[in-house]
A = this chain, B = another copy of it.
């Protein structure tokens, strides 16, 4: 049983100087020197305390790139009055209502709504609530979700603006069907983990020599799926893609990521020239807001065997709804702390299931990998029941087979 009243919400601005090593650099630095060339992987880090005697705390983050973390921290503080002195039982007992309260604050809503800084802050705060709930139940988050009654689970989700695609009743039906074979899939996850891929070897900031060295190391470590950043310079991309494809051979999987570098016609032309390297997908070919643009790109590239992947900067369920409606993507990439925490992520997992589109979550540094594994393990056990075309992004120590850890984050 959940217990305690929220007695304290603290938030910290945590930054790591990852820009010093060129890690995380992508094509947005190509033509304009001030874009994504110098990310400092960071987080607004929320800690919730209660007056319960168990002394348990809830930890939640949203991921940031350095500057601007203080803006998100400011937004977290603006949301804090909605939590302070509230019973955790009242929050999770009407989690849909509480989600709506946070995202529809009469004054704060204007500076969103449900997007950008306020939504990142909402994610950090609600991630902490979910963490606290899971800890009080003595379970990792994925297990809390897997064990939860489907009726209770859908009652946590806000279906506003998505009922034309997914009603509460349809969501319930999906989860009810997901109960079949659940136990076996849970055992499978515990025994074998979830498939992952690596981005660690092909950031744009790396030299060819570094790239070769990291690629060899990743092959040695047993990685079978590789992602390369593209979009700054076509000839450079051709050289790097050839290098990697030659190193990994024809059987292993190559993904490409343009980090929103292109306009729509440019994306189609550019990727036609990289098709020979057989990428599974092109990720973020253009603006994350451009649903119709992604649909156009998808229509042109699918006949070439290239899927479109996007989502790490898609700001809410309404955007994902439309990407699915418009057949604008073949791989859907949720972000565990850009969407409004578990609540909104689950509604997107359920819509993806309805459209039979695989979910391959965004991850990266500063706890993203930790957060996202819970969502995707739940997705496999209780929603999709499939591993076909599904990979989680991992970096650093996370390997081909994701471990399931014993806490939601960190």
**Which residues of chain A have a CB within 8 Å of any CB of chain B?**
28-29, 32, 34-40, 63-68, 70-72, 74-75, 78, 97, 100-101, 104-120, 160-164, 260, 263-266, 286-293, 296, 313, 315-316, 318-319, 321-322, 325-326
Contacts and interface: CB of A to CB of B under 8 A. Distances in A.
Given A292-B291, A322-B290, A326-B292, A163 B265 contact: yes
Contact of A35 (B109, B115, B286): B109
Contacts of A105: 34-35, 67
A120 B113 contact: no
Contacts of A68: 75, 78, 107-108, 110-111, 118
Contacts of A70: 74, 78
A34 B107 CA distance: 8
6 contacts: A28-B106, A35-B104, A115-B289, A161-B290, A287-B318, A293-B318
Nearest to A44: B111
Contacts of A162: 263
A106 B161 contact: no
Given A68-B118, A117-B111, A104 B291 contact: no
A161 B116 contact: no
Given A65-B107, A111-B68, A117 B28 contact: no
State the number of copies, please: 2
A138 B137 CA distance: 67
Contact of A28 (B65, B104, B292): B104
A322 B322 CA distance: 12
A296 B161 CA distance: 13
Given A313-B113, A322-B291, A32 B71 contact: no
Contacts of A67: 78, 105, 107-108
Contacts of A35: 104-106, 109
Going nearest first, the 10 A-B pairs with the smallest beta carbon separation are A116-B116, A117-B117, A67-B107, A66-B107, A35-B104, A65-B110, A164-B264, A289-B318, A161-B287, A68-B111
Contacts of A74: 70-71, 74
A334 to B, nearest CB: 16
A101 B35 CA distance: 8
A111 B116 contact: yes
A266 B34 CA distance: 44
Contacts of A161: 263-264, 286-287, 289-290, 293
Contact of A100 (B32, B118, B120): B32
Contact of A71 (B64, B111, B289, B291): B111
Given A34-B101, A100-B32, A322 B78 contact: no
Contacts of A288: 113
A111 B289 CA distance: 14
A330 to B, nearest CB: 18
Nearest to A160: B263
A372 B118 CA distance: 26
Given A78-B70, A264-B164, A40 B117 contact: no
A111 to B, nearest CB: 4
B116 A292 contact: no
Contacts of A286: 161
